[in-house]
Structure 1
Amino acid sequence: MGQRRPSASASRTTGEQGDVPGWVLVTLMTAGLIIAIWAVAGPALVNLFNTAIEKVAGLL
């Protein structure tokens, strides 16, 4: 009863010091995907938006 086990968080951090945390990689990869998709689909999305606005403006 007098012995204490090291906490789970303490054992996880000691072996991973210096590593890039997973959330950083996920954030960077998500940003990269958004930039890539926007570069490919950007002009089509702008055209779609402009067409939709013109149709709505024509109804007013």
Structure 2
Amino acid sequence: MAVEESKWFYDLSTGEVSQGKASGFENRMGPYDSEAAARKAIEIAAARTEAADNWDEEED
């Protein structure tokens, strides 16, 4: 199994996770090392966005 196929992805259109690239890039978040991390994709993205926003505010 290729490295990319062993990773987990979150499908934005269905809310499902899959191992390997099961959907097109426009609906896919990842790769994640585990199924559990892929299930938290939205939370992870929100936390990263908040951290970036906070950093931007500190720089202004």
TM-score range, shorter chain: 0.3 to 0.5
Query: Per residue, is there more strand in 1 or in 2?
Result: 2
Query: Per residue, is there more helix in 1 or in 2?
Result: 1
Calculate the TM-score normalised by the size of structure 2: 0.39
Max Rg structure: 1
Name the structure, 1 or 2, with higher relative contact order (CA <8 Å, separation 6+): 2
